[in-house]
């Protein structure tokens, strides 16, 4: 009954709220955003029979982190997406306070969802169940209930199952917070997706030489790329440093070798995945053509969420563009999925001294920039990017305080690929060696303006809107 009531309210919220949301001048032209309400983590990203499915954390009833459902889009080309029936709605005894994040696999020819059921008690305590839901013939998902209660020795913060197949078994990584407030990633195994054995902790605070490294590790994702295991995770509780860990919570990765039998993961240092203002909870999938694709949430929990200008239009947050991953000398590279090139309109080229460059429209555009020295760029009078020869700095005014704030990427800059939308920019540095993803909110008809005495070359394409039906 609770689920039915929430669904009725969601339908009412959509009918009432969509006309206002669609009038927002900052509504994206080609990024995925919620019809109304709040969007956060991508969930269940998978390709099955040529169709991409992207589920997502969604509160249809408001722009806060309550009433967490799983919305569902599907696409055949990563560009044009169709709404599908809402996949998961909280209300059962094991997910009464939210259907939290998780993943998808194909089992017996059907998509199976693994998610966290969040339960809170009147005394303020909480617990979590790892649950399954199975695709039905109508395109919806039937809950199968919990398959894993809270493991002994951990707080109620155990969530975000990422499941995959390796040899003859299913494996799962879980984000966790132990009873000593130490963030961990747990590894589990199953032969049938129903009965799970906890193999051990493979990463986290006080493990593998990490030292103190946060009180909770969220949204783990483990996969093999170029013969190396990559663990993506989101540690909470890292102290800010001069040029990194500057968001409230971080998203990054470790590379190494996983021993499935010993449940041990020898890995190197933690690296941030994205150096911009908004990036969190990324999830990957293995496409049928062999590419490892990633989508992230262009937002951060508890970071200026009450000050986004889209709130007055009844919605908040977007996804990043889909990205292709590759590994070079132990470093994870991200590049825009090649499909996005099909959005390009008629291209233009220019080269010369930065100070002499004309203004370029960037309300929805792709810009390639090849600098030969220090320069700066202004994005619609709402954000600036500058490189002094050693440090790349992205600057905007804080959404709440109005004071300037910065994010940094250190290194040589030889190539920039910048993807602009109505309220976001994603900057790919040196063909994916670094990325800076951020929301920004320029006025109408924003222009890219360049400054500096350096010589540079520029290519520009307008990007056509995608369909979200």
Q: Is residue 244 part of a domain?
A: no
Q: What is the DSSP string of 49-92?
A: TTEEEEEEEEETT-SSS-S-EEEEEEESSSSSBEE----B---S
pLDDT at 232: 98
Q: Which two tokens stand for residue 385?
A: 């990017």
Range of the domain at 410: 338-462
Q: Is residue 359 part of a domain?
A: yes
Cβ atoms of 147 and 132 within 8 Å: the answer is yes
Q: Is residue 443 part of a domain?
A: yes
Q: What is the DSSP string of 85-128?
A: ---B---STTSTT-EEEEEEEEETTEEEEEEEEEEE-TTS-EEE
Note if 16 is an active site residue.
no
Q: Is residue 100 part of a domain?
A: no
CA 232/CA 270 separation, integer angstroms? 9
pLDDT at 441: 98
| pLDDT by residue, tens only, the chain of 469 residues | 789 999 999 999 999 999 999 999 999 999 999 999 999 999 999 999 999 999 999 999 999 999 999 999 999 999 999 999 999 999 999 999 999 999 999 999 999 999 999 999 999 999 999 999 999 999 899 999 999 999 999 999 999 999 999 999 999 999 999 999 999 999 999 999 999 999 999 999 999 999 999 999 999 999 999 999 999 999 999 999 999 999 999 999 999 999 999 999 999 999 999 999 999 999 999 999 999 999 999 999 999 999 999 999 999 999 999 999 999 999 999 999 999 999 999 999 999 999 999 999 999 999 999 999 999 999 999 999 999 999 999 999 999 999 999 999 999 999 999 999 999 999 999 999 999 999 999 999 999 999 999 999 999 999 999 978 7
Cβ atoms of 383 and 396 within 8 Å: the answer is yes
Cβ atoms of 135 and 111 within 8 Å: the answer is yes
Residues 6+ apart with CB under 8 A from 270: 210, 213, 235, 252, 253, 254
Identify the CATH number of the domain in which residue 422 sits.
2.60.120.560
Strand partners, 466: none
Q: Is residue 358 part of a domain?
A: yes
- Closest by CA position to 217, among listed 206, 228, 229, 226: 206
Phi and psi angles of residue 354, each rounded to the nearest 5 degrees, phi first: -55, -45
pLDDT at 59: 98
CA 137/CA 77 separation, integer angstroms? 23
Q: Is residue 332 part of a domain?
A: no
Burial per residue of 252-264, b for 16 or more beta-carbon CB atoms within 10 angstroms, e otherwise: bbbbbebeeeebb
Q: Is residue 179 part of a domain?
A: no
Catalytic residue, chosen from 41, 221, 363, 378, is 41
Q: Is residue 325 part of a domain?
A: no
What total number of domains does the chain contain?
1
CA 222/CA 421 separation, integer angstroms? 30
CA 303/CA 244 separation, integer angstroms? 16
Match 């039937």 to its residue by tokens: 142
pLDDT at 1: 75
Cβ atoms of 246 and 272 within 8 Å: the answer is no
């Amino acid at each position: 009954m609770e689920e039915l009531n929430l669904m009725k309210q969601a339908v009412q919220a959509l009918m009432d709220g969509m006309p206002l949301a669609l009038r927002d001048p900052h509504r994206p032209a080609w990024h995925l955003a919620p019809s109304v309400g709040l969007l956060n983590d991508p969930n269940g990203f998978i390709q099955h029979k040529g169709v991409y499915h992207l589920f997502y954390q969604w509160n249809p009833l408001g722009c806060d982190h309550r009433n967490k459902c799983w919305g569902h889009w599907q696409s055949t080309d990563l560009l044009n997406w169709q709404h599908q029936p809402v996949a998961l709605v909280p209300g059962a005894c094991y997910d009464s306070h939210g259907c939290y994040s998780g993943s998808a696999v194909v089992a017996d020819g059907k998509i199976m969802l693994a998610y966290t059921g969040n339960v809170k008690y009147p005394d303020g305590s909480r617990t979590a169940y790892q649950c399954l839901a199975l695709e039905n013939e109508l395109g919806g998902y039937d809950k199968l209930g919990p398959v894993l209660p809270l493991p002994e020795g951990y707080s109620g913060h155990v969530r975000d199952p990422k499941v995959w197949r390796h040899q003859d078994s299913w494996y799962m990584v879980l984000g966790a917070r132990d009873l000593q407030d130490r963030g961990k990633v747990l590894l589990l195994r199953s032969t049938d997706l129903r009965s799970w054995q906890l193999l051990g902790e493979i990463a986290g605070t006080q493990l593998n030489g990490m030292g103190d490294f946060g009180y909770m590790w969220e949204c783990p994702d483990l996969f093999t790329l170029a013969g190396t295991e990559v663990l993506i995770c989101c540690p909470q509780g890292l102290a800010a440093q001069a040029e990194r860990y500057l968001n409230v919570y971080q998203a990054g990765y470790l590379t190494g070798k996983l021993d499935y039998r010993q449940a041990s993961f020898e890995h190197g240092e933690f690296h941030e995945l994205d150096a911009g203002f908004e990036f969190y909870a990324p999830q990957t999938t293995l496409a049928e053509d062999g590419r490892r694709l990633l989508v992230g949430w262009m937002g951060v929990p508890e970071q200026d969420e009450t000050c986004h200008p889209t709130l007055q239009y009844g919605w908040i947050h977007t996804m990043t563009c889909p990205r292709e991953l590759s590994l070079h000398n132990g470093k994870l590279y991200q590049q825009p999925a090649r499909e996005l090139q099909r959005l390009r309109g008629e291209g233009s080229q220019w080269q010369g001294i930065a100070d002499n460059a004309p203004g370029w429209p960037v309300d929805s555009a792709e810009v390639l920039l090849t600098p030969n020295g220090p320069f700066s760029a202004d994005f619609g009078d709402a954000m600036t990017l500058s490189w002094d020869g050693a440090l790349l700095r992205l600057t905007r005014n804080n959404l709440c305080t109005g004071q300037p704030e910065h994010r940094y990427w250190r290194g040589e800059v030889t190539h920039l690929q910048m993807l602009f939308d109505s309220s976001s920019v994603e900057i790919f540095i040196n063909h994916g060696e670094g990325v800076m993803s951020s929301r920004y909110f320029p006025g109408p008809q924003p222009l890219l303006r360049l400054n500096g005495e350096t010589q540079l070359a520029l290519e520009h394409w307008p990007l056509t809107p995608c369909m979200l039906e």
